[in-house]
Amino acid sequence: MGATTGGLQGTSRERRKHFRVPIHLPTHVTELQTQQSYAATLLDLSLRGLGIQSLSARFPQPGTRVLLGVALNGDVVNVTGTIRWTAMEEETPEGSSRCGVCLDEELKARIPIHYALKICEAFDGEVHRARTLRERYPLMAHGIQETYPWSLWGQMLGTVSELAQALWASCAARVDLNAFRTERLQSDAVAQPDMLKVITEDLKKTGSQLRALATMFRCVRDKHLALSQNYAYLVDMGQVIASSVQSMRETLAGLTDAPLPEITYKRSPLPLMFGRYRDFATCFDGLLVFSFRSAFFNKGSRILVQSQADEDRFVVSIEENGSRALDRDLLEISPQGILDLESFTQRDMKAALWLYCGLLALEEHEPTLQVRSESGRNVIRLVLPLEPSFRKTSGETSGP
């Protein structure tokens, strides 16, 4: 492949300077000086640059000023920039060219989410690990595949089952060790009260952990049965949130000796909303797990869940005082896409993808999600518009 470059801007180092989003979208190019236009394909983009492939024999030179029209989510975004490098695709019959364009302003466009999924799958092994866990624990995976492919609850089950298997193996090993110690004591002529006390305390601890594990798996079973409901009816939103909070507590109860974040739900009268229980549960579970991941690393941290409803919308907010969840201060997501995706760091990309998968479960309800992140405080705010015919509220009860 031969290449023509415009100084340093065209070197491979310059091309790798920014994280580039692989994408494949139709693009219209107009050279501003000659007003000559031709079709192209957008190959990749970053915050300040684009890579395009000309679909005509036109061979723009470095330094050429261009206007590009890019079709994103049904809208045409027009941006201006300067050709920085060009390279001929010699293997194509027509000898089409690839070009790198430096934009005049930072691109602000809503990228289709299926591209975000491809991006994250390409550079983040977390997706692969989550799927591998499901293959290793097929019984739990059955409930996951019944609901949504790669659901947030599925990721949580994968993580929980991995920890639970390790803890269960540890409990079994301690029981075997104590049985061996007891046999040794029986063969000794002289009793050893101190050793008997150690064995007794260890067995009590093991029994407590096994009971906690049994509680956890019972919670997993109940959640699986709840999520298997696939028909729409009026759902009590307060009950769904309370169930997610309670199942979060029970699921995490037996996994670690470290102090877990305290989860509190302040409940107010909430509407009955028409939809599927599993959709709401999948979304709320995912938001709680996201908050838990940040809160877990700070001792004494707390997660506060609040919900309220007015005439035209239903709002759930989750606040926790854990570690900073994002590199950026604000993240906004809707089912239509994620704004300014190309400017994200890898941590922000992972967080956006995690949250988007939960939000997608409520796509038909037109939700919006906002996350504010700072050191020692993260706030998630989910807003669902209310249909006029479904503003009936459930009775005011105290949450768990």
**DSSP one-letter string for 235-276:** EEHHHHHHHHHHHHHHHHTTS-SSPPPEEEEE----BEEEEE
pTM of the model: 0.48
pLDDT digits (tens, 9 = 90+) for 332-377: 888 776 666 666 777 787 788 778 777 877 888 889 999 998 877 8
pLDDT tens digit string along 250-306? 766 555 555 667 888 988 888 788 888 878 887 888 888 788 877 766 666 888 999
CB 72 within 8 A of CB 107: no
Say how many C-beta atoms besides its own lie within 10 A of residue 194's C-beta: 8
Structure tokens at 37: 């236009």
In tens digits, what is the pLDDT along the chain, a chain of 400 residues? 333 333 334 444 444 444 456 667 788 888 998 888 888 888 877 657 788 888 777 777 889 999 988 766 556 778 888 998 887 655 444 556 788 888 887 665 555 545 544 544 444 444 454 445 445 444 433 433 333 333 444 455 555 555 566 666 667 777 777 777 777 776 665 667 777 777 777 777 777 777 766 666 666 656 655 555 555 678 888 888 988 888 777 766 555 555 667 888 988 888 788 888 878 887 888 888 788 877 766 666 888 999 998 888 899 999 998 788 888 888 888 877 666 666 677 778 778 877 877 787 788 888 999 999 887 789 999 999 886 544 444 444 334 4
- Say how far apart CA 198 and CA 204 lie, in whole Å: 10
Asked whether 338 and 369 are in contact (CB, 8 A), the reply is no
Task: List, in order of start, the domains of the chain with CATH numbers.
Answer: 3-107 (2.40.10.220), 126-390 (3.30.565.10)
Cα 338 from Cα 209, distance rounded (Å): 42
Rounded to an integer, what distance in angstroms lies between the CA atom of residue 233 and that of residue 385?
Answer: 17
3-state class of 224 per DSSP?
Answer: helix
